Amino acid sequence: MQTTTPAPPNTSAPPTADSGRSVTSNPQPPAVSVFSPRLFSGPEPRKRSVFESPPPTYTRDELQSKCQHIPEADLRTSYKSILDCFLAPNILHVRVKHVRKEKDFYVHEDFLKDRSKFFKTEVSKLHTAVFRRVDLLDVRPETFAIYVNLLYTSKLATKGPEEWHWLCRLYILAERLQDVKTKNLTIDGMILCLQETLPLFSSTPVAKDRTNIDATSLAWLYEHTPENSAARRLAVDYYVQSGRAEWLLSEKNKYPAEFMFDIAVRLMQKRPSSLFASGSFKTSSLYYHEAVIATDKPAATEQKAGVE
């Protein structure tokens, strides 16, 4: 006797109106990959160039008049010189002392030796030393910080209400360290400082304006710089060309005697003509006469009677 397996119940959906027709599913587009071959042919779409027309060209002066940013000409430098310095393992410990202030700095040795004859000599003495340290006495830590910043960035971090004083301190430090490049950069900063503050000088006495070249800063320069110092010449030329008598009168007892002598010599060199040119005196002698004060008549009559 054969047994038949019952068919599973029909669980399909009931027939619809389209039953009996052949139904074909909608074809799906093939997957597109960046590596797939191109499926169409035809003209290439127009590619837009970065500039539809050539960019306008301007001169440097025109860019300045249009307030456009102009890259600095010395923005780029050789990568090797800076790379060798930063990869160098030698870091020099510099201890700076001024009165009660003391500050430790750690600077790449090559930076200091390449710019300063003083550090080049001092480092050579530390060749076999266990602790490599150079002490700088009578130097403000702030001044040395400005110097180190200049070594790394070629920028003078001196802007402020007493910029001229900081520039003088930096120049004196560069003179001591025998760093000619820093002295030249400081002179550039001094000239820029004077050009920016010159309009204020016409109505402001030196004693009340710390941005001016006052007697204190000149005393520093003349005490710590040699006779042929460029900073001295700059200060003298500035006083001769743009100075006012009020500046000297306000601090007449504080100016260095050498500075006053240099001003006198410079003024003589710049005068347009001589009073005694070609043996002739061009100025009337009355210019040097003292005013005669007449005595009152009664006193004169009484004196005459006494004489008789």
Q: What is the pLDDT of residues 108-158, one digit of tens each?
A: 999 999 999 999 999 988 877 677 899 999 999 999 999 999 999 999 999
pLDDT at 132: 85
Contact indicator for 168, 221 with CB cutoff of 8 Å:
yes
pLDDT at 104: 95
- The structure tokens listed for 298 are 């009664």
Averaged pLDDT of the chain: 76
Does the structural domain 77-155 have CATH classification 3.30.710.10?
yes
Q: Where is pLDDT greater, at 142 or 24?
A: 142
Q: Where is pLDDT greater, at 241 or 146?
A: 146
Domain spans of the chain?
77-155, 156-272
pLDDT at 52: 58
User: Which residues lie across from 213 on neighbouring strands?
Assistant: none
Q: What CA–CA distances, in Å, run from 128 to 92, 108, 112, 114, 118? A: 14, 18, 19, 20, 18
- For residue 188, pLDDT beyond 70: yes
> In which band, very low, low, confident or very high, does the pLDDT at 271 lie, cut at 50, 70 and 90?
confident
Q: Does residue 136 sit in helix, strand or coil?
A: strand
d(CA 214, CA 66) in angstroms, rounded, equals 38
d(CA 162, CA 201) in angstroms, rounded, equals 15
> What percent of the chain lies above the pLDDT cut of 90?
38
Count Cα atoms within 13 angstroms, Cβ side, for 18. Answer: 4
